[in-house]
Amino acid sequence: MVQCFPVRAVLSFFVGLLLAAPAWAGAPIEKIKSSTDKILSIVSDPAMKGQAKSGERRKLIRKVVDERFDWEEMARRSLARHWAERTDAEKKEFVTLFGNLLERTYLDKVEGYAGEKVFYQGESMDGEYATVDVKIVTTRNVEMPVRYRLRSKGNEWLVYDISIEGVSLVNNYRVQFSNILAKSPYKDLVSKLKEKSAQEQ
């Protein structure tokens, strides 16, 4: 059953988050590469290995990731039409919850990094938006095309969506959330997110 559809594609965006540093002409490439290198070095640092160090490791990785990913933009786009209806406090809460959800899943995957290779296929830029295409090749020669969408904020370029094999992360969550919000009130969604976070601890 699972074979008729590459579930791995949906999940490997987390590997993609780690490895596929968006690259395009100019100084930003250096910044992105350094973010990626930082994370990789944290993950492969022998002093940081093992269960005991896991909390510290995650904190360090999260710091690097926060510099590169625009959690608020991702959260906003995943709520889409429902975002505007939220109060400021609710918005803040949602960004935190959603960010934690992504972070947790991401960190689990990052720690399973096993030598995948990253190839930069191309990029395009248009005003304040950019797209970067990357190919991840696993050790078993399985290729995964990854597409980053970025938006410039001041001096920085931040990622607001990732697509693996054409499956967009933000869109996937947007459909899930809108499906839930069509049937139940917003607070149910929030409690589902909180429940999930409690489960995973």
Partner 1 sequence: MKGLSRIGIVAGVWLFLFCGSSFAGAPDGSVSPEEGFLWELRNQEGEVYRLEGIPVQPDGPGHLLSFKTDIPGIILDGTTGKQEGQGLPSPAARPGEGRDPFQEEEVQESISDPLEPVNRVFFEFNDLFYFYLLKPVAQGYEAVVPETARLGVRNFFTNLGFPVRFVNCLLQGKFESASMEFARFILNSTVGLAGLIDVASEGAQMKRYDEDFGQTLGSYGIGTGFYIHWPLLGPSSLRDTFGRAGDSFLTPASYASETQYQLAVRSFDTVNETSFRIGEYEDLKKAAIDPYVALRDAYYQYRRSKIKE
Please report, as ranges, the residues that interact with partner 1 according to CB under 8 A. Answer: 1-11, 14, 76-77, 80-81, 83-84, 101, 105, 108-109, 124, 126-129, 131, 141, 149, 163, 165-168, 171-180, 189, 192-193, 196, 200
Q: How far is the CB of 8 from partner 1 (least distance, A)?
A: 5
Q: How far is the CB of 38 from partner 1 (least distance, A)?
A: 24
Distance CA 52, CA 3 (A): 36
Closest CB to partner 1 among 24 and 173? Answer: 173
Nearer to partner 1 among residue 59 and residue 196 (C-beta): 196
Residue 105 in tokens: 């899943």
Instruction: Give the C-alpha separation, 112 to 102, whole Å.
Output: 16
DSSP 69: B
Q: What one-character-per-residue DSSP string does 120-187 give?
A: EEEEEEETTEEEEEEEEE-TT--EEEEEEEEEEETTEEEEEEEEETTEEHHHHHHHHHHHHHHHS-HH
Q: How far is the CB of 80 from partner 1 (least distance, A)?
A: 5
Put the strands of the sheet holding 167-168 in their side by side order: 117-126, 129-137, 143-153, 156-164, 167-168
Closest separation between CB of residue 138 and partner 1, Å?
11
If the CB atoms of residues 46 and 87 are measured against partner 1, the closer one turns out to be: 87
CB nearer to partner 1: give 81 or 89.
81
Of residues 47 and 201, the one with the C-beta less far from partner 1? 201
Nearest distance in Å: CB 37, partner 1:
26
